[in-house]
Amino acid sequence: MRTHLIAGPIRLMVLAFLMLLALSMAGAGRPAVVSADEAGCDEDVVCLAAPSEATSAAAIGPAVAAPLPPSPPTVCGLRSGAVGIAVAVPAPPPPSCTPTRDLITTVNRANILYARALRTLDGSILGEAWTSDGLAELLRQIAALRDGGRYATPRLHTISLTSMDLGPNTATVRTTERWTYQERWRFSGELVAEQDQWARNDYYLAVRGGVWRVTRNDVALIPAPQPTPSVRVETDADTYAPGQTATLTMTNDSGATLVIDLGENCTTTALERQRWDGGWELAGEAPWVCLPTIPLQPGGRTSRIFAVWQPGTYRLRAGYRPSGPGNWPPAGMAYSRAFVIRETAPAPVIRVALDRGAYARGSTITAVIANDGVVPVMIIRTPECEITTAERQTPYGWEPVRGWPRPCAEVVEYLMPGARRTDWIAAGPFAGAYRIAFWYSQEGGPWEVVYSATYSVR
């Protein structure tokens, strides 16, 4: 009963001929390649992820490819020891089918063979994925390493697809890659040279012997991508009185060193006022004296004190850029949340305290001026215009011993809330009753005076 299952010699020959014909017709649909399931990478080389055929057919046109979204590196497919090529002979594909997966598989295979060939100095394995000028260039690199008594250990950390161009039996695959390239002495393994490389790779592929192979690889080193800068700008409250001291804090939340550019007059860190229509307009420079630039390490922060006098709704902005030369103008702007300046301002609370109640003629008084309020005040300190003045009581009232203080040379300082200043002044040339006058002004307001307790000069 088994005889009908056993074909005679002639029947066997016919069947074999028909099978070969079917295989050849099926293989005419597209070139055979490394199997997509064997897009092998090892511990030193990551894979370029292969999209689905449906996705690639929609994303890539007949001539120029739209960039495919990069995927995270994945260690895939072939084990480290396997270097053979599995020839796939699929059924004829539909007209919309493209060789995207096959091309990506070939690029992945070319990278793994490149890394292994430079490690082992064995160029014979390269022909499985390389040919023409691309193969010749790699063989020259291997010969140079061998002649120098070295071998290389390239390591591919990341690879992402930038674009893909398709032509008749040719293709160009463009990627962005990060490699660590090391060279070592052959007999000791000692490290000779090392370079961390970001590169733009253009892989030119063509069908050779029914298989996709890389014919040329153009490499251009590019700068490492910078992390996206991120600066947080915060105020210590949402509401302030006019002139009340506020604290601005700028924090670097990025993974790179950033520079806050303030300029000589704080022009980059600026104050903005909200308009009636909800938009924002420049209200003036931030009211503090500042350094031209402030470097901030990752996670670092810096604070500034400021005060706003006019009621309204405001926000502060800060310009920032990566650290290093040639990075101007700022890479971005960061904004604080909106804060409100109320309509009414609290009155300043200024005290003048003396170290004693009585002094000898010609002795020196130590006067401490304290700002116990919540708003800063302006004071004047120059050789001609002291911040305190002694006054002597006469039958006609109080008279200044050294003349009335006056603004001079437009040199002013701020006495911030909670701050104290110490001044030294002669007690008085004659016996009698005296007091110390301290002149100050809220910004934009008139000059005012506060007095110490009366003291005597003997």
> What confidence tier does 449 reach under pLDDT thresholds 50, 70, 90?
confident
pTM for this entry: 0.42
pLDDT in tens, 364-384: 889 999 998 877 888 766 555
Which residue's entry shows tokens 């904004």? 335
Q: Could you tell me whether strands 239-240 and 339-341 are parallel, antiparallel, or unpaired per DSSP bridges?
A: parallel
Number of Cβ within 10 Å of residue 295's Cβ equals 13
Beta strands (DSSP E) in 225-297 are 231-235, 239-240, 246-252, 258-261, 270-274, 280-285, 293-296
**pLDDT of 349:** 84
pLDDT in tens, 163-216: 999 998 999 999 999 999 999 999 999 999 988 889 999 999 999 988 999 999
Instruction: Give the CA angle between residues 40, 46, 52 to the nearest 5°.
Output: 65
Number of helices and strands in the chain (H, E): 4, 27
For residues 442-456, give the mean pLDDT: 82
Kind plus residue range of the DSSP H or E element containing 24: helix 9-27
**pLDDT of 256:** 82
| 262 phi and psi angles, rounded to 5 deg | -105, -25
From residue 401, how far is each of 100, 390, 448 by CA, in Å?
94, 6, 18
pLDDT in tens, 69-124: 333 343 333 322 333 333 333 333 333 357 888 999 999 999 999 999 999 999 99
pLDDT in tens, 41-70: 555 788 887 665 433 333 333 333 333 333
In the predicted structure, residue 435 carries a pLDDT above the cut 70: yes
- The fraction of the chain above a pLDDT of 70, given in percent, is 68
**pLDDT of 447:** 80
From residue 119, how far is each of 113, 129, 131 by CA, in Å?
10, 17, 19
> What confidence tier does 30 reach under pLDDT thresholds 50, 70, 90?
very low
- The fraction of the chain above a pLDDT of 90, given in percent, is 30
42-46, 336-340, 416-420, range with the lowest pLDDT: 42-46
